[in-house]
Amino acid sequence: MITSAARYVALLNALRYRTCRWRVVPPLRAPFDQQGTSLLLAIGLGLFLSVLGYVTVATVITDARSSTLYLQSTQAFWLAETGVELAQRWLRYQDPPPGGTSSFTQFDHISAGAGSYTVTVDPDDNNTNTYLKKYVLRSVGMVGGVERTIEVEVVATTFNYYAYLTGDEGGTIWFNGGDVLEGPVHSNDQISITQNPVFMGKVTSSATSFNQGQPYNPDFQQGYQLGVPPVLFPTAEDVTNNYWSVNSTPPTLVIDATGSKHAAVEFRADGTVVYSVWHRDARGRRVYDIEDATASVANLNGLIWVDGDVRVKGTLNGTVTLVST
C-alpha cells in the first residue's frame, strides 16, 4: 500500500524529468495596410478642407461676377430705353418727318450714367407711298461688355385722335355745364372752363393754367396736364405735298368760299359729308350757291379743300383732312 507521502515523491520525480517546450510569441502589431492611418486621415482631411475652401471662394467670385453682370444688364436696359424715348421725342418734332427709306443713326454712343446708348432710325419701305409715316427705332444700351437692345415701331397719327384740338382758341371758347367730351382734349392756347363740364379723356394744354370761370367744378375723369409741348400743325403746303405724294389726281372736293361767300360742312355718322355755300344779297338774305350737296368720305382721297372760312360740325365716320385757307 502506497502512502500519501510516497505518491507525493513519485509526482515530484515525474515533474523533474518531464521535457518542457517553449515558444516565443512575437508582440501583436497592426496589419501592414493599417499603418499610418492617422497620417492619411490628416492628409485627406486637409485636402478636403482645401477643396472646400477653393469651392467656397470660387462660388463667392462667381456670385460677385453674376451680380455685376446683372447690374450692368439692368443699367444697359435703362440706357436703351432712354435712347428710345429721346428718339421718339426727336421724331415728334420733325417737320416734315424724315424722308427716304434708308436707316440712319440719330444718336451715336451718347454717354450717360455708367455707359452709353446708340439709336438708329429705320424708315419703313412704304413711307414714300403713304402720308402716315412709319419708323422702327432701334436703341442699344451699353455698359461694360453688356449690351441691351430695344426696338420700337412708331407710326404717325392723325388729329382725329382728339375730341377737341386747337392751335389757337381765337378768343375765349368756354366749356361749361352740360358739355361732355368723349375723348382727349388739347389746345396750344389757354382753355377756358366754367361750371361742371365732363372731360372723359385726358385734358392737356400748352398754357400753364386754365382760364377759370365761376363756379369752377370740372370733372377730369382721366386727369389733366398743363405746360405740355405744343402740337405742331402742318401748313397748307405740307398737306398739299403729302397729298400729291400719294395721289395723281386733284382733290375730289374743293369748296370755293372766297370773297363774300360762306361755307358749311356737316359730317354724318353714315360716312357722308353734306356741304353748302352761300352769300348775302343786297337785302341781307341768304342765297345758296351750293345747298346740301352730299359726298362720301371714302371717295375724297382723304382731303377736303376749302378756299375761305368754313363752319364744321357733325360726326365723322372715316378719315379726312379738311384744309381751310
**What does the mean pLDDT of the chain come to?**
83
- As a whole number of angstroms, the distance between CA 106 and CA 220 comes to 38
Are 163 and 194 contained in the same domain?
yes
Domain boundary among 226, 247, 273: 226
User: Do 166 and 151 sit in the same domain of this protein?
Assistant: no
* Nearest-angstrom CA–CA distance, 194 and 202: 17
Q: Model confidence over 44-84: pLDDT tens digits?
A: 666 766 666 666 665 655 555 667 788 888 899 999 999 99
Asked if pLDDT for residue 290 goes beyond 60, the answer is yes
Range of the domain at 293: 236-324
3-state SS string for 57-97: HHHHHHHHHHHHHHHHHHHHHHHHHHHHHHHHHHHHCCCCC
- Determine the pLDDT at residue 27: 54
* pLDDT given for residue 11 in this prediction: 47
For cell 388729329, what's the residue?
A: 159
Question: What is the three-class DSSP state of 153?
Answer: strand
Which pairing describes strands 272-280 and 286-296: parallel, antiparallel, or unpaired?
Answer: antiparallel
Residue 16 lies in a domain: no
- C-alpha to C-alpha distance for 275 and 264, rounded to whole angstroms: 6
Of the candidates 226, 247, 269, which is a domain's last residue?
226
Q: Say yes or no: 216 and 164 in one domain.
A: yes
If you count DSSP H runs as helices and E runs as strands, how many of each does the chain have, helices first? 3, 21
**Confidence band (pLDDT; 50, 70, 90) for 17?**
very low
Residues 139, 193 within the same domain: no
Domain contains 253: yes
Q: Do 296 and 243 reside in the same domain of the chain?
A: yes
Q: Is residue 54 part of a domain?
A: no
Cell of 214: 365761376
**Domains identified in the chain, total number:** 3
Q: With contact defined as beta carbons under 8 Å apart, do 119 and 84 qualify? A: yes
Task: Say yes or no to pLDDT of 209 above 60.
Answer: yes
C-alpha cell at 190: 389757354
CA–CA dist 310, 263 (Å, integer): 5
Q: What is the pLDDT of residue 229?
A: 85
Report the pLDDT averaged over residues 251-256.
Answer: 92
